[in-house]
Structure 1
Amino acid sequence: MRMSARERRALVVRMAVEEFARGGFHGTSTGSIAARAGVSQPYLFRLFPSKRDVFLAAADQGTSRAVRAFREAADGVTGVEALRAGERAWRLLVDEDYAFALQGQLHAAAASDAVIHAAAARHWELLWRTVATATDLPEPVLEEFFGRMLLLSTVTALRPGAPRRTVRTATATACPPLTTPTPPTARGSRAAPVPAAAPPRPAAR
């Protein structure tokens, strides 16, 4: 059955998540994404104005996947129990999905593109607030959790051939004891840090 433009767009985004997760923004061609999706490159640019738009759509899908996984895992519980449930869900994504690999590529591309930088800041804020809302834990615990997850995803990306149990053992630790929350900042105690804007750089087609 012939696919609609909306279905083709969704397929392109799914393929783009995998391609960008492997090759990054600058290292991935729209031609490779089009080929994976079974469309021509001109048709891809009928669906998306630019390569940057494809990348941002893929990043949106990857972050949405991570947010949904954490919320579903932590549903009905709170505190450390919610954090542990969400971490188990995210560890599965690191092992089996491209959501966290794409997060790394999003951060890398943000360094040289102001539009992608702004999007990366929004994605980071959403992930932070998702965990903060689901767990209601103080900032030091959240910081340790995100540091652990970033380390896990980095080790996995740099050692793709390593046994999964080795990667988990190297980074898995028990949730830390609860500590006194840090005083609220001007933006509020739940606000994730946002880096300064990067100079704009034209996106390649």
Structure 2
Amino acid sequence: MGGVSARERRENVIRAAIAEFAVAGYRGTTTAAIAERVGVTQPYLFRLFPDKKAIFVAALERSAEDTRLAFERAADGVEGGERARQAMADAYAQLISTRPETLLMQMQGYGTVAAAEAQGDELIGEVVRAGWMSIWETVHLSLGADTEKTASFFACGMLGNTLTAIGLPVNAGR
């Protein structure tokens, strides 16, 4: 990876971590697997991040931000709540079809919160909740700050997430 800056390597590690954690979860993912996917040594990985948890947190933050940005970009300049809703739904469908690890990483985060907090670790829950709230706020504002429309958007989206995660087509519930 000659000529690649530490910032670019850090970004590569985050993307590799999302791919690894999305499939195997926090406990099932090794830093060796992340390092191998990126093409760096484990010692170099730990120069970029202090520990595995820091890598997991960065992956959670990035997957939430990727989702938030997809919604923000889709609704940018779109007039009317229904058009914005459809644009965001289409953008999300595109995101999870081209980068399913984004959705799976978020699901891993949701599943990890309770276990982490049961062990007295509040950080993962704080990160997951902050990511969720940033996504909510983006969608909420794009839908005219209508709480009912925002809740309905996310209810349909979570159903789609669940169907996708278990391998059913999104229209299986219709």
User: What is the TM-score when the length of structure 1 is the normalising length?
Assistant: 0.76
Answer whether contact 2:68 2:135 (CA < 8 A) is retained: yes
The residue number in structure 1 matching 2:108 is 105
Go from structure 1 to structure 2 and tell me whether the alpha carbon gap of 1:171 and 1:144 turns closer, same or farther (over 3 Å shift). Answer: farther
1:44-193 residue pairs with structure 2 within 5 A? 44-77=45-78, 78-97=80-99, 98-113=101-116, 114-159=122-167, 162=168, 167-171=169-173
* Coordinate RMSD, CA, aligned: 1.5
Deviation beyond 6 Å, 4+ runs, structure 1: none
Answer whether contact 1:63 1:103 (CA < 8 A) is retained: yes
Greater helix fraction, Structure 1 or Structure 2: 2
3-state SS of 1:2 partner: coil
Answer whether contact 2:64 2:135 (CA < 8 A) is retained: yes
Report the Cα distance in structure 2 between the residues aligned to 1:74 and 1:171, rounded to whole angstroms.
26
Paired AA for residue 108 in structure 1:
G
Go from structure 1 to structure 2 and tell me whether the alpha carbon gap of 1:120 and 1:19 turns closer, same or farther (over 3 Å shift). Answer: same
In the alignment, structure 1 segments of 5+ residues that lack a partner are 173-205
Report the Cα distance in structure 2 between the residues aligned to 1:16 and 1:142, rounded to whole angstroms.
30
Report the Cα distance in structure 2 between the residues aligned to 1:24 and 1:143, rounded to whole angstroms.
28
3-state SS of 1:45 partner: helix
Aligned residues: 166
Report the Cα distance in structure 2 between the residues aligned to 1:171 and 1:136, rounded to whole angstroms.
28
1:162-197 deviation per Cα after TM superposition (whole angstroms, max 9, x unaligned): 5xxxx132257xxxxxxxxxxxxxxxxxxxxxxxxx
* Deviation for aligned residue 1:124: 0.9
In the alignment, structure 2 segments of 5+ residues that lack a partner are 117-121
Answer whether contact 1:79 1:137 (CA < 8 A) is retained: no
Identity of counterpart residues, as a percentage? 37
Paired AA for residue 146 in structure 1:
F
Answer whether contact 1:101 1:157 (CA < 8 A) is retained: yes
Report the Cα distance in structure 2 between the residues aligned to 1:58 and 1:19, rounded to whole angstroms.
10
1:123-143 deviation per Cα after TM superposition (whole angstroms, max 9, x unaligned): 111110010011115222211
3-state SS of 1:112 partner: helix
1:71-112 deviation per Cα after TM superposition (whole angstroms, max 9, x unaligned): 111111231210111011001122221221111011111112
